[in-house]
Amino acid sequence: MSGNKGVVYKGAGKVAVEDIGYPDLVLKDGPGVPKANVGRKCEHGVILKVVTTNICGSDQHMVRGRTTAPEGLVLGHEITGEVVEVGRDVEFIQKGDLVSVPFNIACGRCVMCKEQKTHVCLNVNPDRPGSAYGYVDMGGWVGGQSEYVMVPYADFQLLKFPDKDQAMEKILDLTMLSDIFPTGFHGAYTAGVKPGSTVYIAGAGPVGLAAAHSAQLLGASAVIVGDLNEQRLEQARSFGCETINLRKHDRIGEQITNILGEPEVDCAVDCVGFEASGHGDQGEAPATVLNTIMDITKVGGKLGIPGLYVTEDPGAVDADAKVGSLKVRIGLGWAKAHTFVTGQTPVMQYHRSLMKSILSGRAQIAKAVNATVIDLDQAPKGYSDFDSGVAKKFVIDPHGMLSR
């Protein structure tokens, strides 16, 4: 085989579908690949025919030019596929298996992996702990918004679906297992959501909606979602969430009181990250969400923070924010004895259990995030539509397998 089209970052605001070459079981030189990773042999890996691959809000940060991502980077870290080639050292994964790929690339051998902290694997990125497909500063591994992709450490990482026919029937739900569903669940779980909890979710994008659905699965008595986008808030209401339109209401405590009878929640989740906007028409104010969730979370509460924060943001509003320094009221969090949980989501801690929830019919994540299928050639428009704020989670179908 030789052909392989993929979605390529072409500079701020631009992506294109281009021929990127058929993958090998080796990491070749290319945009964003550290010298120490060039030529890395991956006989422990597989080649996947991509069945579904999703556009993520994290991808949008790069496409907007808000990171140091190099032009030519092949995008995409949410991957579900069929195994078409198996490396010499792979023992348990076989050709024909239908699998979900955790967005974290992890070796399974280092101390962090052995402690289930696969989001900070020590062996896959020479520049820093942790890695991902098609992402800036994450080791240079080629992204999966493509027809075919190479996945290393297959035996350790891949989640095999037990029945291919059943999996294809629920593929719009199962495609969310590579990132968005575990990420939303991680946010709710690390915030301490339990039966009866009242929860505030900052952001009604796909991750926020996934966190809201996850909070419901964990037994929350009330899930309140705040956002500036009324269309996305309507999507949150469609599966039973309360909502606050932050463009109309800047005093969140008052709105929470209207819903709960008191101005604070038990726990909160930040699903916005570093491109946060102030309430009303204030414009970008990157510390807004973190300060807000400290303000409206009870003493002793936990704050799950799966929203992305970066160390370099060329498009930031001030010099401090350009290097990831935000005006966070840490004194408030200290005084209220809050617990903060940050960082990438360790997908492998959750994806098998969430798969079972999907296959049993308990979890309805595709419905919650409004999964919308597009062709690979429609990816540039999908990025543009997603950036405009539509209440959709775009699922790319590179081979037309879902339409069949």
Predicted pLDDT of residue 404: 60
Predicted pLDDT of residue 281: 76
* Same domain? 94 vs 197: no
Structure tokens at 276: 């946060």
Residue 382 placed within a domain: yes
Residue whose token pair is 């991750």: 207
* Same domain? 117 vs 63: yes
Pairing of strands 98-101, 159-160: antiparallel
Structure tokens at 249: 């209401």
Residue 224 placed within a domain: yes
Structure tokens at 242: 């309360």
* Same domain? 116 vs 200: no
Residue 404 placed within a domain: no
Are 327 and 287 spatial neighbours (Cβ–Cβ below 8 Å)? yes
Report the amino acid identity of residue 173.
Answer: D
Contacts of 25 (CB under 8 A, 6+ apart): 41, 42, 43, 45, 47, 85, 87, 150
Are 131 and 346 spatial neighbours (Cβ–Cβ below 8 Å)? no
Predicted pLDDT of residue 250: 83
* Same domain? 31 vs 100: yes
| CA distances from residue 65 to 59, 111, 137 in whole angstroms, order as listed | 10, 34, 14
Predicted pLDDT of residue 239: 98
* Same domain? 171 vs 189: no
Structure tokens at 402: 């879902």
* Same domain? 370 vs 315: no
Give the pTM. Answer: 0.96
The secondary structure of the chain in percent helix, strand, coil, rounded to multiples of 5, reads: 30, 20, 50
**Residues spanned by the domain of 261:** 180-342
* Same domain? 125 vs 165: yes
Per-residue DSSP letters for 48-104?
EEEEEEE--HHHHHHHTT-S-PPTTPBP---EEEEEEEE-TT--S--TT-EEEE-SB
* Same domain? 236 vs 187: yes
pLDDT tens-digit profile, the chain (404 residues)? 568 999 999 999 999 999 999 999 999 999 999 999 999 999 999 999 999 999 999 999 999 999 999 999 999 999 999 999 999 999 999 999 999 999 999 999 999 999 999 999 999 999 999 999 999 999 999 999 999 999 999 999 999 999 999 999 999 999 999 999 999 999 999 999 999 999 999 999 999 999 999 999 999 999 999 999 999 999 999 999 999 999 998 899 999 999 999 999 999 999 999 988 888 777 888 899 999 999 999 999 999 999 999 988 898 888 999 999 999 999 999 999 999 999 999 999 999 999 999 999 999 999 999 999 999 999 999 999 999 999 999 999 999 999 76
Helices 288-296 and 252-260 meet at what angle, rounded to 10? Answer: 40
> In the chain, what is the greatest distance between 2 CA atoms, to the nearest angstrom?
63
Rounded Cα distance, 172 and 177, in Å? 10
* Same domain? 203 vs 351: no
Element (H, E) at 173: helix 171-174
- Of 319, 342, 365, the position where a domain reaches its end is 342
Q: What are phi and psi of 397, to 5 degrees?
A: -115, 85
Predicted pLDDT of residue 2: 64
* Same domain? 354 vs 386: yes
Contacts of 82 (CB under 8 A, 6+ apart): 48, 49, 51, 96, 97, 98, 99
- Of 342, 358, 373, the position where a domain reaches its end is 342
| CA distances from residue 28 to 24, 71, 104, 322 in whole angstroms, order as listed | 8, 16, 19, 31
What's the DSSP call for residue 107?
Answer: -
Residue 402 placed within a domain: no
CATH classification at residue 387: 3.90.180.10
Residue 366 placed within a domain: yes
CATH classification at residue 279: 3.40.50.720
* Same domain? 277 vs 359: no
Structure tokens at 45: 């890996």
Residue 253 placed within a domain: yes
Number of folded domains that form the chain: 2
Rounded Cα distance, 389 and 238, in Å? 17
* Same domain? 162 vs 14: yes
Rounded Cα distance, 337 and 354, in Å? 31
Rounded Cα distance, 266 and 25, in Å? 48
Helix, coil or strand: residue 366: helix
